[in-house]
Amino acid sequence: MVQLLKFSFVILLALGCGSSSHPLPQGALSGLVPQPQSVTTGGEDVGGRGFRCDGSLTVSWPEGWGMKAVRDWLDGSGLDVLQTAQGDAPGRIAWIRSNRPLGLEGYVLRIESDRVVIEAEDEEGAFRGWTTLRQILPPRCEQGCPRGFELPAVQIEDHAYLAHRGLLLDCCRHFMQPAFVKRIIDAIALQKMNVLHWHLTEDQGWRLPIQAYPKLTEVGGFRTEADGTEHGGFYTREEVRDIVEYAAERHIQVIPEIELPGHCRAALAAYPWLGCSGEEMDVPNNWGVFKDVYCAGSDTTMRFLKAVMDEVCDLFPSEVIHIGGDEVPKVRWASCESCQRRMAEEGIANEAELQTWFVNEIGNHLASKGRRIMGWDEILEGGLPKGAMVQSWRGMEGAIEATHQGTDAVVSPTSHCYLDYPLRSTDLKEVHGFIPVPDAAKGHRGSIVGGECNMWTERAPQDEVMGKVFPRATGLAEVLWSGPQITQLEGAYDGFLDRLDALSRRWAEMGLQPGLEGVPVRVEVLPSTLGKVRVVVHPNLRNVGGMVSFEPSTNEAAQPLGKVGDTLVVAGRGTLVVDVVIRGRRTAVAERFPLAGHAGAHQTLDLAFEPSSAYTGGGMQALADGRLGSSDFRDGAWQAVQGEDLTCTLDLGESLPIERLSTHLYLYQDAWIFMPSKVEWSVSIDGQTFEPLATQAPWGDALLPNPNQTVIPVNLSAKGVRVRHVRMRLVNPGPCPEWHAAATEPTWLFADELVVEVAH
């Protein structure tokens, strides 16, 4: 286990910059991310003047250390660099081999007036020390160093908290160009991450070249999208080797993920005999969990997978090979003669154990080649395959269980580590607050050896990936490198944000555009006079502002309303648009909030059901709070109930001449969200006796299979009706129908608002 070095923190703001003609801005140490274990700028050894560079530099490192990534960076820095024999001498940046233990990937970086020394036990520690030095150099050096600059005097002692610090990059749902994968590698290396978990085979695309089975990429590498366009691509063997080498130069291990027994529809499209049915199928263009998986009863399929793994071992030096193992429906196995025969022959009791048998077959084959498998936490279900590492994603339980069973685990729970999730479910603060090694996982035979953040790309083509990965991956990098003794300190997150501000200047020079830290603004919708609501747009992050406008749903021109922080008044329906400004700079982000100022807004509402705690829409007033739902059913404005009617009654406070009643429904059958069988409207003058007004079921064929995520408007003209009470009942259509993957399970109903418009 890692021994923590002494933990002292003395970052002084005022640095002695001597007589340098181009002193660094104060706080050249302010962009260190992850936070080193110890930074000392005062004291006898390291006070005083720093190291001056006037455009030329002498560097040295021990014989045998390649330092390729450092050499490449220096070559592009515009500095005159002379490499000299090893050793520490005046005027030099010297990497020195240490003969004392410095901890996991540890190093000591000393910047003195006449030299810079990075001491490390090996080249890996030396490289981590280099990334720290790089973060102290002027950000402009990323494009070309200024002719003269000075580095602050400092001593940094540092090492990693956990050994496995990774990013999963899914290059299957969307293909990523090799040059882009390298940019990701560069960016995570700067954050001292050391694993690229490269997801290369999936239902929607097979990206890894396998010489024995060329159709895997020729057929499985491409899919036809719903709009008829083609998406796809694959890597050549040369590109794979190049990426692996590029990563290795940055001391990043590439762990390939070859999914089995499920998530393999692209392989089945290439070679249908791999599956239980042998039926021809397409490479799918939709997302989800598919029933067709590799046939566990077929010896030919097992031979295929072993041959694939042989080529994987040829391409990837990583000891660990990820075999997936997640989300494997067992229905095909249950009705497959070969699979059932296998179970009988091997004395396997059920399909969960058949998965363990399957994974063991591949695990044993890989073990014979000196490799070790890692799999998602589902691999625990039929009994832990021998020697397997577990990656826990459905919470932390899988990791804890793995440590109890004596094996190592990597954590990437959906609660903190899923970068495909929107900021509203996982923001930077949550990631940075993550505790990767809970007490329940301590003191057992196995250990949690690290964590990963997972960039699944169903909804993220290459162009959107950088902004989703950063800055959140940087938060996890700090959690895994610096450790809880730093990230769990009081005020740690604010300090992290300060350092991130400084790091952002370097990212800008590197051309890396991070996304936001979290949801930038939130709206509060308050009562106003009849037919209107008051709205306050609150900043949700530091340094957020922006102009607010309103786009009426009538297609009239957008009206400027005010700015973030103002109290604004909205009448009628439309969308509030906030053009987000951060640190005084405009961003490309426009946050949109559909609203309705209407006569029912903030009147007394009675619900005849209990809203789902997962979809409250904001509380008991959600169906009359002025906020409408967007095309995202998780936006916080939709309210939902499962398995029963959604009925609500609104008391307008006085009898009013109604013009129109309306609501929106959400349709997303893959997520079990259906249309009601009908919408019943009724009205009352006294709140006791309700008269039926109308019954609607205007969505016709929408109950047929239709996976689209759609907002369905429901409108009822009610001219001439004068009442005080309005009731809306959405009648539950009953369980998911026969054709549905979840047939017989209770359906959901979603609604956003009971909108009451009155005559003026």
Binding region for ligand ACM (CB under 6 A): 326-327, 376, 393
**Nearest CA among 370, 368, 371, 401 for reference residue 383:** 401
Neighbours of 299 (CB within 10 A): 10
Least distance from ligand ACM to the Cβ atom of residue 591, Å: 27
What single-letter amino acid sits at 721? V
Report how far residue 400's alpha carbon sits from residue 568's, in angstroms, rounded to the nearest whole number. 50
Least distance from ligand ACM to the Cβ atom of residue 456, Å: 6
Contact between 338 and Zn ion by CB under 5 A: the answer reads yes
Strands (DSSP E) contained in 253-384 are 253-260, 320-324, 372-376
Helix (H) or strand (E) holding 592, with range, is: strand 585-597
Contact between 580 and Zn ion by CB under 5 A: the answer reads no
Report how far residue 282's alpha carbon sits from residue 222's, in angstroms, rounded to the nearest whole number. 10
Candidate residues 120, 184, 190, 336; the one interacting with Zn ion per rule CB under 5 A = 336
Of 70 and 270, nearer to Zn ion (C-beta) is 270
Least distance from ligand ACM to the Cβ atom of residue 670, Å: 16
- The one of ligand ACM, Zn ion, none whose footprint includes residue 393, by CB under 5 to 8 A per kind, is ligand ACM
Q: How far is CA 456 from CA 173, 303, 419, in A?
A: 8, 29, 7
Q: Collapsing DSSP states into helix, strand and coil, what is residue 408?
A: coil
Task: Determine whether 602 is exposed, middle or buried from the number of CB atoms within 10 Å of its CB (0-12, 13-18, 19+).
Answer: middle
Only one of the segments 225-233, 295-303, 525-533, 623-631 lies at the binding site for Zn ion (rule: CB under 5 A); that segment is 295-303
Of 122 and 326, nearer to ligand ACM (C-beta) is 326
Of 300 and 553, nearer to Zn ion (C-beta) is 300
- The one of ligand ACM, Zn ion, none whose footprint includes residue 295, by CB under 5 to 8 A per kind, is Zn ion
- The one of Zn ion, ligand ACM, none whose footprint includes residue 390, by CB under 5 to 8 A per kind, is none
Of 243 and 343, nearer to Zn ion (C-beta) is 343
- The one of Zn ion, ligand ACM, none whose footprint includes residue 338, by CB under 5 to 8 A per kind, is Zn ion
- The one of Zn ion, ligand ACM, none whose footprint includes residue 339, by CB under 5 to 8 A per kind, is Zn ion
Contact between 295 and Zn ion by CB under 5 A: the answer reads yes
* Dihedral (CA of 48, 53, 57, 59) sign: positive
- The one of Zn ion, ligand ACM, none whose footprint includes residue 276, by CB under 5 to 8 A per kind, is Zn ion
Least distance from ligand ACM to the Cβ atom of residue 394, Å: 8
Helix (H) or strand (E) holding 131, with range, is: helix 123-136
Beta-carbon contacts of 733 under 8 Å, excluding residues fewer than 6 positions away, are 674, 675, 676, 677, 703, 747
Of 198 and 304, nearer to Zn ion (C-beta) is 304
Of 121 and 430, nearer to ligand ACM (C-beta) is 430
Q: Is the peptide bond before 34 cis (omega within 30 degrees of 0)?
A: yes
Of 299 and 686, nearer to Zn ion (C-beta) is 299
Beta-carbon contacts of 72 under 8 Å, excluding residues fewer than 6 positions away, are 249
Least distance from Zn ion to the Cβ atom of residue 262, Å: 13
Task: Determine whether 464 is exposed, middle or buried from the number of CB atoms within 10 Å of its CB (0-12, 13-18, 19+).
Answer: middle
What single-letter amino acid sits at 697? A
Least distance from ligand ACM to the Cβ atom of residue 596, Å: 37
Only one of the segments 130-138, 338-346, 430-438, 642-650 lies at the binding site for Zn ion (rule: CB under 5 A); that segment is 338-346
Strands (DSSP E) contained in 622-645 are 639-642
Least distance from ligand ACM to the Cβ atom of residue 298, Å: 24
Least distance from Zn ion to the Cβ atom of residue 337, Å: 8
Of 235 and 376, nearer to ligand ACM (C-beta) is 376
Beta-carbon contacts of 422 under 8 Å, excluding residues fewer than 6 positions away, are 632, 634
Report how far residue 473's alpha carbon sits from residue 188's, in angstroms, rounded to the nearest whole number. 8
Q: Which residue, judged by CB position, is nearest to ligand ACM in the bound state?
A: 326
Contact between 138 and Zn ion by CB under 5 A: the answer reads no
Only one of the segments 207-215, 289-297, 377-385, 414-422 lies at the binding site for Zn ion (rule: CB under 5 A); that segment is 289-297
- The one of ligand ACM, Zn ion, none whose footprint includes residue 327, by CB under 5 to 8 A per kind, is ligand ACM
Beta-carbon contacts of 548 under 8 Å, excluding residues fewer than 6 positions away, are 537, 560, 561, 562, 563, 564, 566, 568, 576, 577, 578, 579
Contact between 396 and Zn ion by CB under 5 A: the answer reads no
Read off the tokens for 32: 């260190």
- The one of ligand ACM, Zn ion, none whose footprint includes residue 535, by CB under 5 to 8 A per kind, is none
Contact between 276 and Zn ion by CB under 5 A: the answer reads yes
Of 327 and 381, nearer to ligand ACM (C-beta) is 327
User: What stretches of 335-471 show up as alpha helix (H) in DSSP?
Assistant: 337-346, 351-367, 397-404, 414-417, 428-432, 462-469
Of 343 and 379, nearer to Zn ion (C-beta) is 343
Of 327 and 579, nearer to ligand ACM (C-beta) is 327
Overall size of the chain counted in residues: 760
- The one of Zn ion, ligand ACM, none whose footprint includes residue 297, by CB under 5 to 8 A per kind, is Zn ion
* Dihedral (CA of 131, 30, 165, 37) sign: positive
Q: How far is CA 748 from CA 421, 617, 624, 669, 672, in A?
A: 22, 14, 20, 9, 6
Q: Distance of alpha carbon 61 from its chain centroid, rounded?
A: 38
Candidate residues 339, 354, 477, 731; the one interacting with Zn ion per rule CB under 5 A = 339
Contact between 297 and Zn ion by CB under 5 A: the answer reads yes
Of 327 and 670, nearer to ligand ACM (C-beta) is 327
Contact between 216 and Zn ion by CB under 5 A: the answer reads no
Report how far residue 395's alpha carbon sits from residue 376's, in angstroms, rounded to the nearest whole number. 11
- The one of Zn ion, ligand ACM, none whose footprint includes residue 336, by CB under 5 to 8 A per kind, is Zn ion
Least distance from ligand ACM to the Cβ atom of residue 480, Å: 18
Query: Which residues are at the interface with Zn ion (CB under 5 A)?
Result: 276, 295, 297, 336, 338-339
